[in-house]
Amino acid sequence: MNRREFLQTSAGAAFAPAVLRRNYKFAEEFAQKKARVGLIGTGWYGKSDLFRLLQVAPVEVVSLCDVDKKMLADCAAQVAERQESKKTPRTFSDYRQMLKEKDLDICLIATPDHWHALPMIAACEAGADIYVQKPISVDVVEGQAMVAAARKHNRVVQVGTQRRSTPHLIDAIEKVIKPGKLGKIGLVEIYCYYHMRTRENPPDTAPPEGLDYEMWTGPAPLRPYNKLVHPRSWRAFMEYGNGIMGDMCIHMLDMVRWMLGLGWPKEISSNGGILIDTRSKANIADTQTATFNFPEFPVIWQHRTYGHPPDPKYPWGATIYGEKGTLKASVQSYDYIPMDKNEQPIHQDVKFELEEYPIDKVEKDLERHVAPAIRGHMKDLLRCIETRDKPVADIEQGHISTASCILANISMKLGRSLKWDSTKQQVVGDSEANKLLQREYRKPWIHPKA
């Protein structure tokens, strides 16, 4: 891809510093309207998202929802302490009851992955604009239904793929990609080498007091309760998500799609499995490679939960190879390495913004390096609520990145490459693969359709 093609097609080119300045302006104006906010899923990232929103606009958090009573009460107390009014939000154990009130301007959804689709669609129907965590769905048909709901009800939906609002990555677009420093790009590698797959094998037990495990499970298969399931460790099980592919690959795939102006891949292939750690209760792959063949060039993913990363500075990131140089990018930094020894390399680290937002220094479990990106994402959401534009991580972009990762898992399961027709939203000539685009829902929950 050359510079002209990039400027014509890249969403990254549009999201330049001028847009960032507009985000700040609209966030300030929007603050005067005291938007009413609700949060579904009050755990780790739910609070991270909500508290960043409170940092950029003094909205009024009126409703919280969670199936864990203790988690819900803790979040309500923290919100009362942080928001200007000092009011304690109403609390709900069922998102349907919360949305039935139809009094939300913005709804944040930060549940486990298997609970993204139904609340998001219900929030669209209730008239709220939405911030939904990635991946948007656990199957492709869910994602199609979510995009359709957003368009039908004219809702602004921002997906929590915050790389699109990461300041140093926007800088990499401005200083490296848009000026054409990479030249023609032929290959992108994306990867995660974190030892993040649980190695535990604890016994099943009764659910803890205060957790409605039946509702927590919802449309997913009902497994015996295990401490790995809640809180946070549910990603160890394919019943609730799409493994490391759906958790970590989506971030990097979405990042390079945004930075390089890529749409849908035309073909996806993947292989791997549980090749090393066979004793853990976790059922997600500890080793996986995937090739996403875009019309422009291939993007190749690799994860393994053991061994050393090839580059210790970039254990989770992307490497973009061009004829004139290489760009390495991650949540922590970026490095441009030119082929011409007379050309100056470029390096930039993440800016933490700890002095601007000192509470970040003490907030429990906050990923401090990600906080600036979440704030940028929230400002972009507020701007688009005001203008009714599509946000930088619009639901359709989230669907493309999510579905691509799901298709990689289907390819690995079937042991063959999949050709994807993005217009028909079907795998070409493969009825077995197309059946896997929709998971079976546990009764009485009904799978949404576009």
CATH code, domain with 428 = 3.30.360.10
Residue 241 located in a structural domain? yes
* pLDDT number for residue 27: 52
Residue 13 pLDDT > 50? no
Per-residue pLDDT band for 58 (boundaries 50, 70, 90) equals confident
Residues 37 and 146 placed together within one structural domain of the fold: yes
- Of the ranges 111-115, 147-151, 198-202, 281-285, which one carries the lowest mean pLDDT score? 198-202
The residue-averaged pLDDT of 370-396 equals 97
Residue 111 located in a structural domain? yes
* pLDDT number for residue 4: 38
Residues 105 and 174 placed together within one structural domain of the fold: no
Residues 141 and 224 placed together within one structural domain of the fold: no
Per-residue pLDDT band for 17 (boundaries 50, 70, 90) equals low
Residues 124 and 98 placed together within one structural domain of the fold: yes
Residue 378 pLDDT > 60? yes
Residue 80 pLDDT > 70? yes
pLDDT in tens, 23-32: 555 555 555 5
Residues 159 and 176 placed together within one structural domain of the fold: no
Number of domains in the chain: 2
Residue 200 pLDDT > 70? yes
pLDDT over 90 percentage in the chain = 91
Residue 448 located in a structural domain? no
Residues 108 and 256 placed together within one structural domain of the fold: no
- Of the ranges 14-28, 284-298, 308-322, 342-356, which one carries the lowest mean pLDDT score? 14-28
Look up residue 155 and give its two tokens. 């809702």
Residue 358 located in a structural domain? no
Residues 113 and 71 placed together within one structural domain of the fold: yes
Residue 206 located in a structural domain? yes
Residue 378 located in a structural domain? no
Instruction: Tell me which of 138, 163, 188 is where a domain ends.
Output: 163
Residue 411 located in a structural domain? yes
Instruction: Tell me which of 119, 138, 163 is where a domain ends.
Output: 163
Residues 159 and 256 placed together within one structural domain of the fold: no
Residues 421 and 280 placed together within one structural domain of the fold: yes
Residues 179 and 140 placed together within one structural domain of the fold: no
Per-residue pLDDT band for 232 (boundaries 50, 70, 90) equals confident
Per-residue pLDDT band for 354 (boundaries 50, 70, 90) equals very high
Residue 449 located in a structural domain? no
Instruction: Tell me which of 117, 133, 163 is where a domain ends.
Output: 163
Per-residue pLDDT band for 20 (boundaries 50, 70, 90) equals low
Residues 317 and 423 placed together within one structural domain of the fold: yes
Residues 157 and 205 placed together within one structural domain of the fold: no
pTM to 2 decimals? 0.92
* pLDDT number for residue 143: 98
The residue-averaged pLDDT of 354-373 equals 96
* pLDDT number for residue 47: 98
CATH of residue 147's domain is: 3.40.50.720
Query: Which structural domain, as residue segments, surrounds residue 47?
Result: 14-163
Q: What is the mean pLDDT of the chain?
A: 93
